[in-house]
Amino acid sequence: MKKLIAALAITAFTAGTSFAQASFETVDADSNGGVTMEEAAAAGLPWTEEQFKAADTDQDGALNAEEFAAATAG
């Protein structure tokens, strides 16, 4: 998990301000309480499918607010 967070932090740094400005509420386009890979991609988050699955710790196919915060912490 630490490697994932480090990789996402590096990706966030190189992605510029659009990643830094992404909030859970903004990325969760349908406001259902979970961010899917499709919503993350639409918001411009540069995650691979593998990174997304690693961040989805409860493996329900979407990041909840806690998982999203951990994945975007930098």
CA atoms within 13 A on the CB side of 19: 19
User: What CATH number belongs to 2-72?
Assistant: 1.10.238
What value does the mean pLDDT take over residues 36-43? 97
pTM beyond 0.85: the answer is no
- Whether 13 and 30 have beta carbons less than 8 Å apart is answered as no
pLDDT in tens, 28-38: 999 999 999 99
Structural domain boundaries in the chain: 2-72
Provide the Cα torsion 11, 69, 45, 36; round to 10°.
Answer: 140
Q: What percent of the chain shows pLDDT beyond 90?
A: 68
pLDDT at position 22: 86
Q: Which two tokens stand for residue 63?
A: 């990041």
**Distance from C-alpha of 18 to C-alpha of 21, rounded to nearest angstrom:** 5
pLDDT in tens, 16-25: 434 556 899 9
CA triple 72-17-6, angle to 5 deg: 35
